[in-house]
Chains A and B, each alone.
Chain A
Amino acid sequence: MLRYTAQRLLVAFAVAISVSVISFAILRMSTDLAQALAGEAANQEQVEQIRIAYGLDRPLPLQYLDWLADLFRGDLGQSYYFRSPVAELIGDRLPLTFSLAISSLFLALVIAVPLGIIAALKQNTWIDRACLTLAVVGQAMPSFWFALMLIFFFAVQLQWVPLSGGATWQGLILPVVVLAYYAMPAIMRLTRAGMVDVLASDYIRTARAKGLSSTSILLKHALRNAVMPVIALAAVQFGFLLGGSTIVETVFALDGIGYLSWESIQRADFPVVQSIVLLFSLIFVVLTLLTDLLNAWIDPRVRG
């Protein structure tokens, strides 16, 4: 397990470095930074001055190392639009997006995994089909429409929750429901498929031949083997929920990372966009690492 962990860490580190190189390159290729910093009105001479002042005339590898050093100091640069440090901008918004992602993933798992198990046990019955229908609807329905429907019923008509904004926890209920319903179908169907597979396996027959209780067969012997791909999927979805909640944040007027990235892309606020890309790439790297380790812990064969 120790060797495997070290191996995975090394791979994760290599990926993180590549991600940083790509992220750095994207910014440098997208625009002439000196020109951008100097502004539209600056003449050639002023631009060159700025280029030298900011070290943009130096070789690219050196600039990369500088940038990397800044990164480690938590300096992600200045936003063109807000004229404030990017780290601050992201730091202010990250908690909201993070709690949205965590709560919705948790809600999705709590509903989808048991439903997947039930669907597998009641394979090809009306219960199975009802679960499938629920999943298909969730996959087919655009989240902005679902969000608007929820707002209409629960915020406007029933007035159970505030209309928008993330100031109170009540304001997060609807966005969490929307995001959870978005994440749920895939988790449920993968759980079902895994359980159907595992339940037909030889070692489940052995467990039954041993006279074990149904609970033990299901939860100890079947679920542990069926849940591995679900963990990998949940990790990917967590990444998506962190970065991909743009639409939901916009509909509910939540000032999170998704909303910030969407605004920044529109404003060509490159330092912000670049930092968000880098941040989420690194989050994916970390999630993948955690998934690998979790799967190795569950399945001894992975440890090798």
Chain B
Amino acid sequence: MTKLLDIKNLRVEIPIQGGAVHAVRGVDLSIDRGETLCIVGESGSGKSMSSLAVMNLLPKGAHRSADRMSFLGTDLLRLSHRGMARIRGDRIGMIFQEPMTSLNPAYTIGNQLQEVYRRHRRAGRAAARDRAIELLELVGIPNAPLRLRQYPHQLSGGLRQRVMIAMSLMCEPDILIADEPTSALDVTVQVQILHLLKDLQTKLGIAVILITHDLGVVARTADRVAVVYAGQILETGTARQVFGTPRHPYTARLLDSMPIPGMMRLRRKLQAIPGTVPSLTNDFQGCAFAARCDRARPECRTTEVPLVREDGHGFACLHPETEARFAQKAGV
């Protein structure tokens, strides 16, 4: 069976004064129908850039390249602007981190919901309105007909994110890309939105690419996980593999830095990762994490580290963690 989305060696460069920021450096991603793929990483790790590159929504000047980027057999790299616009919002939906500013303040919710349906489905006003009401109810917004007439500023952040989700699902896309959809929301609302996404996914059978820095979110939602760092994937596998037996030291350190409910009683200390993310302006040798890694040896800094796979669990490390070491440390 062909993959829904299949990306090989994705690179994104953003030219700056006297050089370029290599925001994404050779990322492979793929997703099947109905699957949830979580891309985890710190700020500036290139996780958002990767998804924007798929949508061809990169900021002006940024340049993407890849060996392959196919969506249901269509080569996205060769697609015209028009062709891509036909896929966006129809086959691939996207929601963003900032629900407060992602809706146009000058138009009603109804207008903005209906417009996407009318554009892709050539539907009439009445059909689009019915569809909008249906979707608002699906994302758990009561009193939908009233909401259609309201403007974004009359809605709370959580409601606006629900509207964004409804909007991205108007045309029943195959993939929903959610770029940090809960980061800007209150904790209680975060949980609701995540539940909603999970719920919708099972109902509609859509694939979800969830981009987040929140490991708790990943643990709760992911089928598969890709851990990105400095524009590269350091570890990938099922949620069970990556969380249960992390092989890359970076993943292990990330998990150490995550509070686990109940663990505090056991006097487990939260561990910060020393050092900072390497500058992305120059090309570096060896492993991107070497400078901050306590397992690093001299060869880590000099040799290119390939992503090796064992049973679909991939990691780019010359001296991977052993299972026992982590299990003992994190108490999982």
Contact B88 A206 (CB under 8 A): no
B70-90 residues at the A interface, CB under 8 angstroms: 81, 84-90
Contact B105 A203 (CB under 8 A): yes
Contact B88 A211 (CB under 8 A): yes
- Known contacts: A209-B89, A211-B120, A213-B119. The answer to whether A202 contacts B102 by CB under 8 A is yes
Contact B89 A212 (CB under 8 A): yes
- Does chain A have a CB within 8 A of B202? no
- Known contacts: A202-B96, A206-B96, A208-B57. The answer to whether A213 contacts B85 by CB under 8 A is yes
Closest residue on chain B to residue A299 by CB atoms? B106
For the complex, count residues of A whose C-beta is within 8 A of B: 22
Which B residues touch A216, using CB under 8 A? 115, 119
Q: A216 CA to B153 CA in the complex, in Å?
A: 22
Quote the shortest CB–CB distance from B15 to chain A (angstroms).
Answer: 13
Q: Which among A201, A210, A298, A300 is the interface contact of B89 at CB below 8 angstroms?
A: A210
- Does chain B have a CB within 8 A of A267? no
B contact patch SS: mixed
Q: How would residues 86 to 107 of chain A score, 1 for a CB under 8 Å from any chain B CB and 0 otherwise?
A: 0000000000000000000000
Quote the shortest CB–CB distance from A3 to chain B (angstroms).
Answer: 15
Quote the shortest CB–CB distance from B210 to chain A (angstroms).
Answer: 16
B32-58 residues at the A interface, CB under 8 angstroms: 55, 57
A-B contact pairs, 10 of them (CB 8 A): A203-B102, A209-B94, A210-B119, A211-B86, A211-B116, A211-B119, A225-B104, A225-B106, A298-B106, A300-B105
For the complex, count residues of B whose C-beta is within 8 A of A: 31
- Known contacts: A300-B153, A301-B151. The answer to whether A209 contacts B103 by CB under 8 A is no
Which A residues touch B167, using CB under 8 A? 206, 210
Which B residues touch A212, using CB under 8 A? 85, 89, 115-116, 119
A192-225 residues at the B interface, CB under 8 angstroms: 201-203, 205-214, 216, 220-221, 224-225
Contact B101 A203 (CB under 8 A): yes
Quote the shortest CB–CB distance from B93 to chain A (angstroms).
Answer: 8
Quote the shortest CB–CB distance from B117 to chain A (angstroms).
Answer: 10
Q: A216 CA to B85 CA in the complex, in Å?
A: 12
- Does chain A have a CB within 8 A of B317? no
A-contacting residues of B (Cβ < 8 Å)?
55, 57, 81, 84-90, 93-94, 96, 98, 101-108, 115-116, 119-120, 151, 153, 164, 167-168
Contact A202 B98 (CB under 8 A): yes
Q: A216 CA to B103 CA in the complex, in Å?
A: 15
Q: Which among B55, B81, B108, B120 is the interface contact of A209 at CB below 8 angstroms?
A: B55
B-contacting residues of A (Cβ < 8 Å)?
201-203, 205-214, 216, 220-221, 224-225, 298-301
Q: Which among A206, A209, A211 is the interface contact of B104 at CB below 8 angstroms?
A: A206
Which A residues touch B55, using CB under 8 A? 209
A-B pairs, top 9 by smallest CB distance, nearest first, are A211-B89, A211-B88, A210-B89, A202-B101, A300-B151, A203-B104, A209-B94, A210-B116, A211-B85
Contact B119 A201 (CB under 8 A): no
Which A residues touch B108, using CB under 8 A? 300
Q: A221 CA to B106 CA in the complex, in Å?
A: 8
Quote the shortest CB–CB distance from A157 to chain B (angstroms).
Answer: 46
Quote the shortest CB–CB distance from A205 to chain B (angstroms).
Answer: 6
Which A residues touch B90, using CB under 8 A? 211
Contact A209 B106 (CB under 8 A): no
Q: A284 CA to B119 CA in the complex, in Å?
A: 43
Q: A225 CA to B107 CA in the complex, in Å?
A: 10
Q: A201 CA to B103 CA in the complex, in Å?
A: 10
Contact A224 B57 (CB under 8 A): no
Which A residues touch B87, using CB under 8 A? 211
Q: A203 CA to B115 CA in the complex, in Å?
A: 14
Contact A210 B115 (CB under 8 A): yes
Q: A225-B106, A299-B106 are in contact. List 10 more A-B contacts (CB 8 A).
A: A202-B98, A205-B57, A206-B103, A208-B57, A209-B168, A211-B90, A221-B104, A298-B106, A299-B105, A301-B153
Quote the shortest CB–CB distance from B281 to chain A (angstroms).
Answer: 22
Quote the shortest CB–CB distance from A34 to chain B (angstroms).
Answer: 58
Closest residue on chain A to residue B90 by CB atoms? A211
Q: A213 CA to B98 CA in the complex, in Å?
A: 23
Which A residues touch B104, using CB under 8 A? 203, 206-207, 221, 225
- Known contacts: A212-B119, A213-B119. The answer to whether A206 contacts B164 by CB under 8 A is yes
Q: A209 CA to B57 CA in the complex, in Å?
A: 7
Quote the shortest CB–CB distance from B16 to chain A (angstroms).
Answer: 15
Which B residues touch A208, using CB under 8 A? 57, 85, 88
Closest residue on chain B to residue A123 by CB atoms? B60
Q: A213 CA to B118 CA in the complex, in Å?
A: 12
Which B residues touch A220, using CB under 8 A? 107
Which B residues touch A221, using CB under 8 A? 104, 106-107
Residue in A205, A216, A299 with the greatest tally of chain B CB atoms within 10 Å? A205
Closest residue on chain B to residue A222 by CB atoms? B104
Q: A301 CA to B96 CA in the complex, in Å?
A: 22
Contact A210 B88 (CB under 8 A): yes
Q: A213 CA to B309 CA in the complex, in Å?
A: 42
Quote the shortest CB–CB distance from B164 to chain A (angstroms).
Answer: 7
Q: A225 CA to B106 CA in the complex, in Å?
A: 7
Quote the shortest CB–CB distance from B314 to chain A (angstroms).
Answer: 29
Which A residues touch B101, using CB under 8 A? 201-203
Closest residue on chain B to residue A201 by CB atoms? B101
Contact B102 A206 (CB under 8 A): yes
Which A residues touch B106, using CB under 8 A? 221, 224-225, 298-300
